[in-house]
């Protein structure tokens, strides 16, 4: 009788541990699916393929330090009215790629001033990296 009681408690503990593991696995799986779809949606807005070997030329205050032809694409991370925005500039057209509200008082004043002027990049990956640094 005692062995049966111990077996019952052991099976209950085992079932509990397996259920907790199952919940963590489902949460991890659904979190990765959602994160990948958000990233995919951002990248689907691009006309050209994203190069993994490209570099970022950083511009401050709209000053261009590299020779760029009018057809080149530039991505700008800027702060406007508490909204952090990634803007794509291509052939004179602008399009908002991503935006998120942030609290300006949390970050150093120098960073906020730089964002208000706009930080420009040649590569979407670098713009997303700066965007995610402030959003996360």
- Can you give the pLDDT at residue 71? 58
The winner for highest mean pLDDT among 25-34, 40-49, 62-71, 122-131 is: 122-131
Q: Is 100 helix (H, G, I), strand (E, B) or coil?
A: strand
Give pLDDT, residue 78.
92
Pairing between strand 59-60 and 83-90? unpaired
Three-state DSSP class for 60?
Answer: strand
Question: What is the predicted pLDDT for the residue at 38?
Answer: 47
Q: Which SS3 state, helix, strand or coil, does residue 67 take?
A: coil
pTM of the predicted model, to two decimals? Answer: 0.49
- The per-residue pLDDT for 56 is 35
Mean pLDDT computed over every residue of the chain: 75
37-90 pLDDT tens trace: 444 444 444 444 333 333 333 333 444 444 455 558 899 999 988 889 999 998
* Long-range own/partner contacts, residues 34-43 (CB < 8 A, 24 or more apart): 42/97, 42/98, 42/124, 42/128, 43/124
């Amino acid at each position: 009788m005692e062995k049966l009681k111990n077996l019952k408690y052991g099976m209950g503990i085992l079932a509990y541990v397996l259920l907790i593991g199952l919940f963590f696995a489902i949460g991890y799986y659904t979190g990765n699916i959602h994160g990948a779809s958000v990233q995919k949606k951002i990248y689907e807005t691009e006309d050209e393929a994203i190069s993994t070997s490209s570099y970022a030329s950083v511009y401050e205050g709209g000053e261009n330090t590299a020779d760029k032809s009018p057809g080149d694409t530039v991505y700008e991370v800027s702060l406007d009215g508490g909204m952090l925005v990634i803007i794509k500039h291509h052939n004179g057209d602008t399009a908002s790629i991503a935006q998120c509200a942030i609290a300006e008082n949390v970050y150093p004043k120098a960073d906020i001033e730089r964002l208000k002027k706009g930080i420009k990049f040649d590569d979407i990956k670098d713009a997303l990296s700066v965007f995610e640094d402030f959003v996360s």
